[in-house]
Amino acid sequence: MSEAASGVRIVVGVDGSAASVNALVEGARLASELGGTVDAVAVWEPPTKLASYAAVGIGSFEEGAAQVLKDALFQAFGEDVPASVSARLIKGVPAAALAAAADGARMMVVGRRGHGGIMGLLLGSVSAAVVNQSPVPVLVVQ
């Protein structure tokens, strides 16, 4: 079945963590097996008190998120990002934006951001919110 015919799209949430890089790798593996595509999504949210960040010379949050996404793709795939992987930035609240991006997808893949030890058994706040808000099945990877 061709990629266009299958319509399989897997959304992967990317935040630059090692777990989100693992999510990219796993999402690409699954998409390859299904003849589909990966939509790697990084979400950035402007701080509520932007003026205080501007005062200390912190640059564009959108540019920072774009660099995080670029770095994560490189960490996952090196120079050879598969043609089936696309990347995009979304401005918004992370869990809600990822859930919206997953509309019509087959699955979402996100990384778990644990704290190690007993606390490591818990999902990160965005991962937990995605599990609750996603319109599609969610795979959480370490």
Among 59, 137, 46, 54, CA closest to 94: 46
pTM confidence score: 0.84
CA–CA gap between residue 21 and residue 19 (Å, rounded): 5
pLDDT tens digits, one per residue of 42-91:
998 877 765 555 545 555 788 889 999 999 999 999 999 999 999 999 99
Strand order of the β-sheet with 138-141 is 85-91, 37-44, 9-13, 107-111, 138-141
Segment 90-99 shows an average pLDDT of: 93
Structural domains counted in the chain: 1
CB distance 16 to 44 below 8 Å: no
In eight-state DSSP terms, residue 5 is: H
Tokens 């989100």 belong to: 20
Domain harbouring 47, CATH code: 3.40.50.620
109 or 56, higher pLDDT = 109
**What range defines the domain where residue 106 resides?**
3-141
| Position 84, amino acid | S
Per-residue pLDDT at 8 exceeds 60:
yes
Q: For residue 124, what is the DSSP state? A: P
The predicted structure's pLDDT at residue 117: 43
Predicted confidence (pLDDT) per residue in 22-46, tens digit? 999 999 999 999 999 999 999 988 7
